[in-house]
Structure 1
Amino acid sequence: MFTGLKCSTFTTGAYPSTMSNATHGVSNSLLSAPYDLNIYFGLFLWVAGNIGSIGNLIVFRSPSFRAHAFSIYLFSQSIMDFIYFNFVLMTRILQKGFGIPLLTRYEALCKARQFFSFWGNQISFSLFSFGTIDRILSTRRSQNFRKWSNRPSLAYKMIVASFIFWFLLIGHRLVLYRIENGSCGPTSASSIYVEWDEWFEVATSAILPPVVMLIFAFLLIRSVREIIERRINPTAVDISPQAQNSNKNATLLAQMSSKLTIMLLLQSVLVVITYVPYAIELAYTSITDDWPKTPLQKAGEKIFTESTHLLSYVFFASSFYILLFTNSGFRRQFKRSFGIEKQNDLTMYQGTTLRTQTNVPIH
């Protein structure tokens, strides 16, 4: 996902088996490892990402989901992810894995790919963030906050705004990226631009997402726990039948909190292992770029670089599977889309939705 920096420009190159014997003691297996990573791990991510994107599209477009604002955000994110896997990741596999010089031969493709790799990443994470914010607002105690949740008209406006916002910040790549000396990357005419582009990407793509995700997890889990406390522990003067019956939902709400905690914990862990290694790799490469290195060091660093860049796809490839594993409503709707859900499961799902939709939507 994160490409276009000094450490991630696309260069021409042949598979190690066709290289000369000037490897200075570095084994062919070590030299071929970056290519194998892009082929095998890259293809695995491509298959998993496409299945996940299509699965999300099916569920979030279903009648039970599509009327909700958060579903609009996540449906749009799934479209972006589908394009991302089949353009950005596939070109990486072809160029970095199979050695087909697409991005170092066609300048238009070079510009488009390096722009979309950054722009698409920001759009996808922004849409995911909007969906999470919508859920946070829906769980707030204050009506002033809740009134901003589940507003489809606002969702469409935010989607368009994010497209324009990130295009204005990243569109320069369509002009200032080109093929130079067998590499697809930022023009070397301005070292200031190269440095700015490099650190702007790492700040927005590698540092910001983990911070944002941890804040979201804290806010959402705290809001859900506040709701549980209000439902389980009503005020002493409240002896209405509604207050007395609220304890019957205690188990359900506790289960929701547990599942939500697991989901956000998994997503937070994935954000850390997805984004933090990239930031470390970029900082290390920038600091040691001019240091003398042995062929063995260079081979090891190339493996680390390719691994961190491939890991950057894991977060978006895994969202469908996390939802399928942690969210019973999502899982039932997915089975229902293929006609494999039992009627009693469907009835239970509908009843659960009715009991919880005014508190914490769990779709």
Structure 2
Amino acid sequence: MNTTLKSVSSALLDAPYQLNIWFDSFLWILGNFGNIGNVIIYSHRSYRQRAYGIYLLGEAISDFIYIDFLLLTRILQNGFQISITGHYNFICKIRQFDSVWNPLVSLTLFAFAIIDRILSVQRSNKYRQWSNRVKLSYKICIAIPLFWLVFFAHRLILYKIRNGSCNPLPGFYASFDSYVEAGFTALGVPLAMAILAFFLLRNIRNVTHGKVLPINNNQPVATTTRSNLQQIDSQVAFMLLLQIAISILTRIPYVAQVLYSNITQYWSKSELHIAIENTVIEFIRILSYVFFTTSFYVSIITNRRFRRQVKGLFKKKQVIDHTTQ
């Protein structure tokens, strides 16, 4: 009986490390291939002529940096027990800053891609003319990282290594920082995505059923069948909708975990309770990286145009290989 309990306890204690070694490593490899693929595809001229393509390119670059810094350091620290943020104050500050900055940059750019698609099928020309503003999209892609940089710059100053771990200054700031993170990266993200999903889903239905889409306020044009452009837009919308679903499903457990940790941080807990809690928390934290590693694969599954671009890349590579032989 005691031997069994000891074995279970050892397995529970080892579970967080194994999760970070195997699951994180799998996501890191998956994400690198996917984000490199996204950068290549969205760098294509046809996507750079569409505002949503610019936003998704910016998102892909942000995701690439995120997993190759934050996820990789997580694997080294939480999986292989190689202390990085506990020894180097500079990395401590940068990592804590990046843990909130990069995801919000990525998700905000993703949100602007959705907004662009929503605006593109509005009935009113006043709203529709704000879609596909390519020059504006470049400016927004610069403004968003700067905005979140200013908003979370306090982490670059007020986080320090204490007792071998990277923590915020104790007292008021620690509580303030914790609730800001919970509000923006936990509660704010699924709420914003749910609102965008509602409007995007409504637009998919409008395009699918061929609703009346006026060219201007005085000259409506009834569309009984979908044009090629509408079909492409509906595929993009469906692709974005599926990614929204992934972001919500992987963020809701994170919301629950952040709230639970804040509420129970001063509770008395048994060693078994702490071991189970640590395993669940590690799994939820790892799950929060799924959105940033899977967009390429979602695009391949849902978007025919995207698949053609990927196939075109392989065909070009085969042609180059044959000419160099």
TM-score in terms of structure 1 length: 0.78
Out of 287, 309, 325, the position equivalent to 1:311 is 287
Out of 31, 38, 41, the position equivalent to 1:56 is 38
Q: Does 1:165 find its partner at 2:147?
A: yes
Out of 271, 284, 300, the position equivalent to 2:260 is 284
Question: Number of aligned pairs?
Answer: 307
Contact 2:93–2:157 under 8 Å retained in 1: yes
How far off its partner does 1:267 sit?
2.4
Q: How does 1:168-207 map to 2 (within 5 A)?
A: 168-188=150-170, 191-207=171-187
Gaps of 5+ in 2: 215-220, 318-325
Out of 183, 206, 210, the position equivalent to 2:190 is 210
Residues 32-68 of structure 1, C-alpha deviation per residue, up to 9 Å, x if partnerless? 1000000000001101111110110111011221111
Residue number in structure 1 paired with 2:314: 338
Contact 1:58–1:337 under 8 Å retained in 2: no
% identity of equivalent residues? 44
Contact 1:26–1:296 under 8 Å retained in 2: no
Contact 2:118–2:199 under 8 Å retained in 1: yes
CA distance in 1, matches of 2:23, 2:60: 21
Residue number in structure 2 paired with 1:154: 136
Contact 2:204–2:237 under 8 Å retained in 1: no
Structure 1 residue matching 2:90: 3-state secondary structure:
helix
Residues 324-358 of structure 1, C-alpha deviation per residue, up to 9 Å, x if partnerless? 101111111111122179xxxxxxxxxxxxxxxxx
* RMSD after superposition: 2.5
Gaps of 5+ in 1: 1-22, 235-241, 342-363
Q: Does 1:324 find its partner at 2:300?
A: yes
Moved over 2 A (4+): 23-27, 223-234, 246-257, 259-269
How far off its partner does 1:269 sit?
3.0
How far off its partner does 1:208 sit?
1.4
Residues 164-220 of structure 1, C-alpha deviation per residue, up to 9 Å, x if partnerless? 2111110010100010012102122xx211111111111111111111112112212
| Code of the aligned partner of 1:323 | S
| Code of the aligned partner of 1:85 | I
Bigger drift between 331-340 and 313-322 goes to 331-340
Bigger drift between 214-223 and 102-111 goes to 214-223
How far off its partner does 1:77 sit?
1.1
CA distance in 2, matches of 1:254, 1:108: 49
TM-score in terms of structure 2 length: 0.87
How far off its partner does 1:128 sit?
0.7
Residue number in structure 1 paired with 2:109: 127
Residue number in structure 2 paired with 1:70: 52
CA distance in 2, matches of 1:66, 1:179: 43
| CA 211–138 in structure 1, closer or farther in 2 if over 3 Å, else same | same
Contact 1:281–1:308 under 8 Å retained in 2: yes
CA distance in 2, matches of 1:324, 1:254: 16
Contact 1:69–1:150 under 8 Å retained in 2: yes
How far off its partner does 1:264 sit?
4.7
| Code of the aligned partner of 1:281 | Q
Contact 2:193–2:248 under 8 Å retained in 1: no
